[in-house]
Each structure stands twice: as C-alpha cells, then as structure tokens.
Structure 1
Amino acid sequence: MQISAAPLRPEQAVTDTAKWLIGAGALLVMAALSLMTGPVDIGAGEVFRALFGNADEVTNTIIRELRLPRLMLTVGVGAMLGGAGAALQGYLRNPLAEPSILGVASAAALGAVVALYFGFASVAGIFLPLMAAVFALAATLLLFVFTMFSASGLSLILAGIAIGSLAGAGISLALNLSSNPFAAMEITFWLLGSAEDRSWRHVGLSVPLIGLCLAVLFSDSRALDALTLGEDAARALGYNLTLVRMRLIVSVALGVGAAVSVTGAIGFVGLVAPHLARSVAGSLPSRLIASSALMGALLLTAADILVRLIPTTNELRLGVVTALIGAPFLVIILYRTRRREA
C-alpha cells in the first residue's frame, strides 16, 4: 500500500492557491522585465506587439529571436536546477544537497570544453551543446552503473564525487594543454555560465528534455515524502526504492545535463531555491519540488536581468552572479544548521 496525501483543509487549499498565483504573477513580471531589458530600450507596449510580430522589423527580431529564447532558457534551466535540488535534498535527506553533487554538470561542462578545445564548436555552433549533452548522458550511464546494486544515498554521493572529479581533471587538463590563449579564454568564459546569444535551437535542444525530467520528479514526489519517514518505512508503504533511485538519477542527471549543455555551469540555484521555497511551501517533497522549480525560474531570470543592468565593459556572466548570491547563502545555512545541532 502506498502513502496517500491527507486532504487539504479548505482554508489551506485557498492559501496554497494564493501562493501559487503570487508566484506565477512574480514570474510573469520577471519575464516582462527580461524582455524589456537590454542594450536597446524597448517599452512594454512594443514588447507586447513584437511578441505577435506587429512591431517594426528590428524590434521583432530583438524580442522574438534574441530575448525570448534567452528568457525561455533562464526559466527552464532555473526550474530544472531548483526542482532537482529539492528532489535530491528529499532523497538524501540532506539540506545541502544540490544537482552538482551528481557530477553530471561537470561532465556536461567537459563535453563543451572538448568541443571548444578541438575546434568542433567553430565548425558548427550546435556541436557545443550536443557534445555537452552526450557527455552528460555518458555520465548518467556511469552513475547508473556505479549505483546499480545499492539504493543508499551515500553510494550516490560517492559516485557523483568520482564522476565530478574525473570531469574536473579533464577540464583542467584541457586548459593546461591549450596552446591557443583565445581557446583557453573561450573555455573559461563558457564555464562561467551565460544565457547570452542563445537561439531557438538551444531552446529546442534543452527545454523539452527539461520538461520531461521535471515531470518524472513530480511523479515521484510521494515516494520522496515516504522517505522522510526513513527507508524502512518507505518500503513498508510499498515503494520500490531501487526504482525510485533509478528514476531520480536519470531525470536529475539528464535534466541538469541538458541545462548545462546550453548555458554553461551555473551553481547554487539548486541549493538556494529549495531553501527559499521551504519557508513558503513546507518541507514535504510533494509540495517542495514544484515550488522550488518556480523559485529557481524566478531566481535565474532575476539574475539574468541583473547581469544586463550592471554597467560593465563586458556583460557579467550568469554563473558569477549566482555564485555571489549563493556562497553567502551557503554560509548562512551552515550557521543555522550548526546552531540547531548545538
């Protein structure tokens, strides 16, 4: 017999609906600001007309071919990182778990570095995200093999650390052996993460897979609820933890790999989003995963607006901004955790 959710009280259902409406409204506002923000100032009315192709040719191109794909990527990637962070924290029962713990993000970064190092990306731009996706898939298969005979969270963490370390060594080797300083600079900039100059091709490559992986995580949220009672209790309630682990590994790894393949490495969103969502939605994974996905989309979209507003010679990289936000947040989490344990 599987665990079932207790029916919501009417007042609780109204409160939850209000929270979701507020969150959706905030994301809509962020989306509008994202479409309005950039080197060319475009007002809200022009943005609305351009979405339907009714503005002038230049405005239509800026909105529909540059800013709209960028917006869709920040929303999709942020949602994937936030939802994956909540799922991993629920499965591992560790508030510091985040998607990079699986090492797949590092493997995807290595794939992109290989494409840049050997010049594949200069032949055709699509090779960069494709190579990143292929390496992410390979890392997923390795992770699956390493943890096939164990459902414990520790085996998952150790396998992720091993894959991440191996990928990090490969990236360092490429930078070390690069005889072309421009190639090394290009690799470094890509590793910092960005949604700049992305197209509908990048959206088509990543967003459908991200949506599918998030749907799998949502479908397993009840099993993660049961895991909060302990593995024995979850098994007693009828959940097959081996299958849950398999689906979790594949969906998180492929989703995060697809995200990293088009934006580069973006850290801390998977850590910060669940903690912010937890104060609103509670700690049960069945409520937290969707809320964290929404919070992740909000955070990354806001960060992407910020990199365009800060006056700099070169546009700030998205990964730099998320790291500047996430690192102090991690210190706060560690401090609060230590105080609770004291």
Structure 2
Amino acid sequence: MSRARHRLLIPTLCLLLALAAMASLALGAVPLSPARVWAALLGHGDRVAAAIVIDLRLPRLIVGAMVGAMLALSGAALQGYLRNPLAEPSVLGASNAAALGAVAALYFGLSAWHPAALPALAILTALVALGLLFLLAGGSESPLTLILAGIAVATMAGAGISLALNLSPNPFAAMEIMSWLLGSVENRSVTHILLAAPCILVGAALLLADGRALDALTLGEEGAQALGVDLSRARLLLLLGVAIGVGGAVAVSGAIGFVGLIVPHLVRPFTDRSPSAVLLPSLIGGAALLTCADIGVRLIPTTSELKLGVVTALLGVPVFLVHLMRERRLW
C-alpha cells in the first residue's frame, strides 16, 4: 500500500495542478465555461473570452505556477541540506535580498523607467546576497554556519527595506512599496514570464541536480564525505539554485511566504521521507498550491482584491500547525 501511494503521488499532483490551472483560467470576475476556455486556448473563441484567457489569466497562471514551484522546491532542498524542518528560502536571505532590489527599483523610480528594471534589480541583489553569503560562511561546511550567515544577510536586507519605507519621499511611494511586498501575480504579462522563466528553470535544474548529496547528508557531514559526496559542490549548487531561482520568482511576484515551508511538509508523508524524494513532488505541489491560492484571491468577496502573500500566510499558518501536531514525533 505504501509503495502504491508513493507511485501515485506524482500523477495525483499533476492532475491536481491541471485541474487548478483550468479553474484559474475559468474563474474570476467574469466566469467562463470550460468550453469557452478551450476555444480561446485553441484560437477559435470569441474576442472577449480570448482577451480574458490569453491576455489576462494565462500569464497570471504561468507566473503563479512558476513562482510556487520554485519556492516549494527551494524549501524542500534547504530542509534536506540544512536538516532543519523550518528551513525556507528566506533562511539564506535570498528572498529578502530580492525584495530589497525590487524595493530599490520602486524607491528610485527605475520601475517607471522600464518594466524590466524591477525584476532585473531583484535578481541582481539576490546574486549579490549569494556572494555575501559565501564571504560570511567562508570555507565552513557546517549547516549552522550557513544558517547564521543567511540570517545576517536577511537582516541586512530587511533593514534596507525598512529604511526605504522610512525615507520614502511621499506616502504614495510607501504604499506602492508595501503593496509589492505583500505579493501578487495580478496583471502579469508575457514580459514577466520571459524575465522569470530563465532564472527559475536554471535554479530548479541546479536544485534537482544532486539529490544523492541531500540523502547522504542525513548521515551528517562526515558520513556524507565517507560516501564520496563533494560537500563544497553540493553547497555551491544549493546556493546558486536558491539565489537564482528565488531571485527570479520574487522579482515578478513580490514577497510570498509559507509556500516554501509548508509544501515539503505536506508531500513528505507520501514519500519515503528521503530528501531527494521530496524535491519533485514539492515542485509540482508548490505550483498547484499557489495556483489554488490565487483562485481564492479572486473569489473571496472583498472591496479590493486581496494580496496573494496575505492569503498564503492566512492559509499556511493553520495548515502548518495542524500538520506539525500530527508529524512532530517523526522529526
């Protein structure tokens, strides 16, 4: 039964993602039937349906799925490498640094100068944070050293964001920064997809490249080295993957929390619990979860549309606490 459950995990998650994707294209302020959605996708639909599906909802769906997949995969890889069930992308400061770059683009008006300025600066600051992390961690292979260095980088980035809010030239600039920090995939376009996709694909490939090293690290650094694992290479792949991938994701979505934390915990019971076995299910599950959360953003009745980061936090905390109470004896 257990092996059958493991074999069915990936197909089940793919089916869930497909259903969520169809619902994302059909549901919203103007609901569309599945037939109209399919017709629009195939180029045979009416103009209204085609404009809604192709121009508005499809880019939003793709961006949300990519961001969710990258955040969840990063969380799974970090939890395996650091052997810490509370690890997520913000642990290494990547998401905070990317957010700082985006805030700087908003603060100095670069985002108004060119649409690509905000994502480009977010990715650049994530890579700068990676270099700073290497400098602070030095040659140490200890996960604790990496965590402490990441906390230092994240704190500095957070201080920079707070400084920008404190010194914002007018309340409208501060509101724009705060709105971006809450996270959203609303009004995304093909430009955002083209900017984020290369970073997310490269980041995901680096994180999926060496699952064997994550499995070996469950025995500790000495045990992994005894099995022939190159710890320096494993750390380099992890840091590059998180910095590049999360930098690209945060650049087009803003700060979205809890996805990288809760998705690996949700899929882990349906695997053999080895770190490598959690990676791919987390990637698919993260895409499905953020797509579903974005549907909720559109359907929850409010005077103004909720921000995606708010919804993931509201849903993520209780789900994580319930799961923690069930699984706490297994860690």
1-side partners of 2:23 and 2:321: how far apart?
30
Q: 1:55 to 1:340 in 2, by over 3 A?
A: closer
Q: CA deviation at 1:91?
A: 0.6
**Is contact 1:151-1:242 (8 Å) kept?**
yes
1-side partners of 2:76 and 2:285: how far apart?
11
Corresponding pairs, count: 331
Q: How does 1:22-171 map to 2 (within 5 A)?
A: 22-171=12-161
> What CA deviation, in whole Å up to 9, does each residue of 1:23-68 have, x standing for no partner?
1111100000000112122111111111122112232122112111
**Is contact 2:74-2:260 (8 Å) kept?**
yes
**Aligned AA for 1:61?**
A
Q: Of 288, 294, 316, which aligns to 1:304?
A: 294
**Aligned AA for 1:56?**
D
Partner of residue 199, structure 2 = 209
**Is contact 2:6-2:272 (8 Å) kept?**
no
Identity among equivalent pairs (%):
54
Report the RMSD for the aligned CA atoms in angstroms: 1.8
Q: CA deviation at 1:14?
A: 5.4
Q: 1:25 to 1:337 in 2, by over 3 A?
A: closer
**Is contact 1:213-1:252 (8 Å) kept?**
yes
Unaligned runs of 5+ in 1: 1-10
3-state secondary structure, aligned to 1:228: helix
Unaligned runs of 5+ in 2: none
> What CA deviation, in whole Å up to 9, does each residue of 1:260-301 have, x standing for no partner?
000000001011000000011231112101111111111111
Q: Name segments (4+ residues, structure 1) moved above 3 Å.
A: 11-17, 329-341
TM-score, normalising length from structure 1?
Answer: 0.92
**Aligned AA for 1:327?**
V
Q: CA deviation at 1:18?
A: 2.5
2-side partners of 1:330 and 1:173: how far apart?
32
Q: CA deviation at 1:167?
A: 0.8
**Is contact 1:144-1:246 (8 Å) kept?**
no
1-side partners of 2:37 and 2:166: how far apart?
45
**Aligned AA for 1:52?**
L
Partner of residue 4, structure 1 = none
**Aligned AA for 1:248?**
L
